Amino acid sequence: MARAFDPGYCDPRFADLCETAPDGATYPPTDFRVEWGPVFHRGRLDGTARVLVIGQDPAVHETVCRRILCGEAGRRVQGLLAKLGITRSYVMINASLYSWLKRDEMPFMARPAITAYRNRWIDAIRAISDIRAVLLLGDAAKTAWDEYAKAAHPPAGLTVRTVIHPTEPHKDAQGDPATEAKLVTRMLEDWNQAVAAVRPRLDGVRDTEASEPAYGVKFRDGELLAIPSADLPAGLPDWMGAEDGWALRTGPGGLRWQITVTVPAAHRITA
Ligand code: URA
């Protein structure tokens, strides 16, 4: 059976953005994992996106897949988009092209050179796509949009919503499972409110009208969705989109120089 894949940066606008991506001169190597290269986007670059999602920075799965939001955060976001009736018509970028090293890189997100390049991405996306809603995942994304809005004056009718970042509960809980469970419940309440506010603004452009139940107090089966193969470069195995937890930062250099990828148990071939 034919298997869809993301053809990449074919449109000259996006090819140019890849060719001119800022490097360590703009993203200091003391704060960003520039040695793994920039990770640009996920989703439609062909003008069919109707929802723009802005995330924070690429993590370890993204570094391997070369598309953003394809680890646990991405699977949660894919489920959130499904509740909006959007299964295909989205495009995602991050506030930061490179992975944050120390987790306190927020001040960089409003720096002029970082902002100017990111704004070129948003302009290029908006130039070819009738974006109806913008979902901002957490504070870095909000900063990215605020900086864009200052420079570009997007139309007042555009629906823009900031939601709690999908992995904020994990980070804020600092290893305490009870706290994390409470923070997940709070996040899902926030996401339910966002769905109620944003979904009606997508009338006429939703990919599906299937009604999705509201989130409960924790994620249920089916609320973490696989990353579609159409979002990933050609040749990536299905398990890279279907599961997370298969890539870890390990080894020498601490959390910097080495990533270990392990095929998940269900996909191992032992013959
Ligand atoms: N991965 C991303 O690409 N962005 C996020 O915000 C989180 C994880």
**63 in ligand 1 pocket by Cβ < 6 Å?**
no
Testing ligand 1's pocket by substitution, the residue of 36, 42, 56 carrying the most ligand atoms inside 8 A of its CB is 56
**59 in ligand 1 pocket by Cβ < 6 Å?**
yes
Report the separation in Å between the CA atom of 58 and the middle of ligand 1, taken as the mean of its atom positions. 5
Q: Answer whether residue 252 shows pLDDT above 80.
A: no
Q: Answer whether residue 94 shows pLDDT above 80.
A: yes
Percent of the chain with pLDDT over 90: 91
For residues 27-39, average pLDDT: 97
The ligand 1 atom nearest the CA atom of 61:
1
Q: Report d(CA 233, CA 82) in Å as an integer.
A: 22
Digit-coded pLDDT (tens) for 108-166: 999 999 999 999 999 999 999 999 999 999 999 999 999 999 999 888 889 999 999 99
Q: How confident is the model at residue 104 (pLDDT cuts 50, 70, 90)?
A: confident
Q: Answer whether residue 220 shows pLDDT above 90.
A: yes
For residues 85-102, average pLDDT: 97
For residues 211-238, average pLDDT: 95
Supply the angle between the helices 112-128 and 138-152 in degrees, to the nearest 10.
Answer: 80
Q: How confident is the model at residue 64 (pLDDT cuts 50, 70, 90)?
A: very high
**56 in ligand 1 pocket by Cβ < 6 Å?**
yes
DSSP the chain: -----B--S-SHHHHHHHHT---TTTS-TTTB-GGG----EEE--SS---EEEEES---HHHHHHTSSS-SHHHHHHHHHHHHTT-SSSEEEEES-SS-BSSS--GGGGG-HHHHHHHHHHHHHHHHHS---EEEEEHHHHHHHHHHHHHHH---TTSEEEEE--TTHHHHHHTT-HHHHHHHHHHHHHHHHHHHHHHGGGGTTT-S-----PPP-SSPPTTSS-PPPGGGSBTT--HHHHH----EEE-STTTTSS-EEE---GGG----
Residue 102 is predicted with a pLDDT of 87
Report the separation in Å between the CA atom of 271 and the middle of ligand 1, taken as the mean of its atom positions. 36
Report the separation in Å between the CA atom of 127 and the middle of ligand 1, taken as the mean of its atom positions. 24
Residue 1 is predicted with a pLDDT of 73
Testing ligand 1's pocket by substitution, the residue of 39, 63, 69 carrying the most ligand atoms inside 8 A of its CB is 69
For residues 46-72, average pLDDT: 97
Residue 256 is predicted with a pLDDT of 87
**96 in ligand 1 pocket by Cβ < 6 Å?**
no
Q: How confident is the model at residue 103 (pLDDT cuts 50, 70, 90)?
A: confident
Q: Answer whether residue 176 shows pLDDT above 80.
A: yes
Digit-coded pLDDT (tens) for 113-123: 999 999 999 99
Percent of the chain with pLDDT over 70: 100
The ligand 1 atom nearest the CA atom of 138:
6
Mean pLDDT of the chain: 96
The two tokens of residue 77 are 């976001």
**187 in ligand 1 pocket by Cβ < 6 Å?**
no
